[in-house]
């Protein structure tokens, strides 16, 4: 079982501006991978007609970029998945709270998406949840947890852990709880699927990004 690396210190809250900057960098990286990166001078000259393969690859890349933009810049309602908008406040006031126009008028915290009936987030784990909701995903294709968020919170004590190698099972260095980094079930439960020990999938769907309140 791989050793887990503990994240110390207070996770810095991610603002809209920082999320936008990160999205721009990710978009530029995606364009580079698709062969569309580079400076403006690279495009001087006659145009080139794309073949069917390049068109399909371009369509896939654009879809990935648009999906990333929607999920990063426009948070979704935890209940109905509608895109959240700025909460309605009295004229002349500013707010960073969000609101779902489809299922609730209760303002939500911009960072951890929990209800803020009094206009202030009281979730003591807000900074942790904010990191869990906004951190990048594991991009190393050789990793046994490829596609998972870089950080997971221990299901028992909420201690932050990142996967550093080996199989998909980790053990919390705070409470010693062992669990699967992909589905978040207890290790002994997930290990019953012996044929999936080193698989990127489990017998249950991959766990979504975590949200909790303390």
Residue 101: its pLDDT value, please? 85
C-alpha 2/C-alpha 166 separation (Å) is 5
Average pLDDT over residues 139-155: 92
pLDDT-derived band at 149, boundaries 50, 70, 90: very high
Joined together, the tokens standing for residue 149 give 């968020």
C-beta separation of 117 from 108 below 8 A? no
CA dihedral 96, 102, 103, 107 (to 10 degrees): 10
Question: Mean pLDDT score of the chain, rounded to an integer?
Answer: 78
Residue 196: its pLDDT value, please? 80
pLDDT tens digits, one per residue of 173-198: 999 999 999 999 999 999 988 778 77
CA dihedral 105, 110, 112, 116 (to 10 degrees): -40
DSSP 42: G
C-alpha 195/C-alpha 19 separation (Å) is 39
CA atoms 123, 127, 132, 135: torsion sign? positive
The structure's pTM equals 0.55
DSSP conformation letters of 120-164: S---TTHHHHHHHHHSPBP--TTSTTTTSBSEEE-TTT--EEE--
C-beta separation of 169 from 190 below 8 A? yes
pLDDT-derived band at 15, boundaries 50, 70, 90: very low
Any idea which of 87-101, 110-124, 139-153, 163-177 has the lowest mean pLDDT? Answer: 87-101
C-alpha 76/C-alpha 98 separation (Å) is 10
Q: Which residue has the higher pLDDT, 98 or 55?
A: 98
- 116 burial level (CB within 10 Å; 0-12, 13-18, 19+): buried
Helices (H) and strands (E) in the chain, counts: 4, 7
pLDDT tens digits, one per residue of 29-53: 655 554 555 554 455 556 667 788 8
C-alpha 157/C-alpha 172 separation (Å) is 9
DSSP 152: E
Average pLDDT over residues 77-105: 78
Nearest to 179 by CA among 153, 198, 204: 153
Residue 190: its pLDDT value, please? 93
């Amino acid at each position: 079982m791989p050793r887990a690396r503990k994240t110390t210190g207070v996770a810095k809250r991610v603002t809209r501006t920082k999320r936008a900057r990160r999205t721009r960098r990710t978009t530029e990286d995606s364009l580079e991978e698709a062969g569309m990166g580079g400076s403006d001078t690279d495009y001087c000259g006659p145009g080139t007609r794309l073949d069917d393969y390049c068109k399909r690859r371009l369509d896939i890349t654009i879809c990935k970029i648009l999906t990333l933009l929607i999920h990063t810049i426009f948070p979704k309602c935890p209940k109905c998945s509608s895109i959240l908008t700025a909460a309605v406040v009295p004229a002349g006031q500013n707010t960073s709270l969000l609101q779902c126009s489809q299922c609730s008028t209760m303002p939500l915290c911009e960072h951890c998406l929990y209800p803020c009936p009094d206009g202030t987030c009281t979730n003591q784990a807000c900074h942790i949840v904010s990191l869990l909701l906004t951190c990048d995903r594991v991009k190393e294709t050789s990793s046994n947890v490829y596609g998972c968020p870089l950080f997971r919170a221990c299901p028992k004590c909420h201690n932050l852990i990142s996967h550093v190698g080996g199989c998909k099972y980790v053990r919390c260095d705070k409470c010693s709880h062992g669990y699967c980094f992909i589905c978040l079930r207890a290790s002994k439960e997930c290990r019953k699927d012996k044929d999936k020990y080193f698989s990127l999938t489990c017998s249950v769907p991959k766990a979504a990004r975590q949200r909790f309140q303390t």
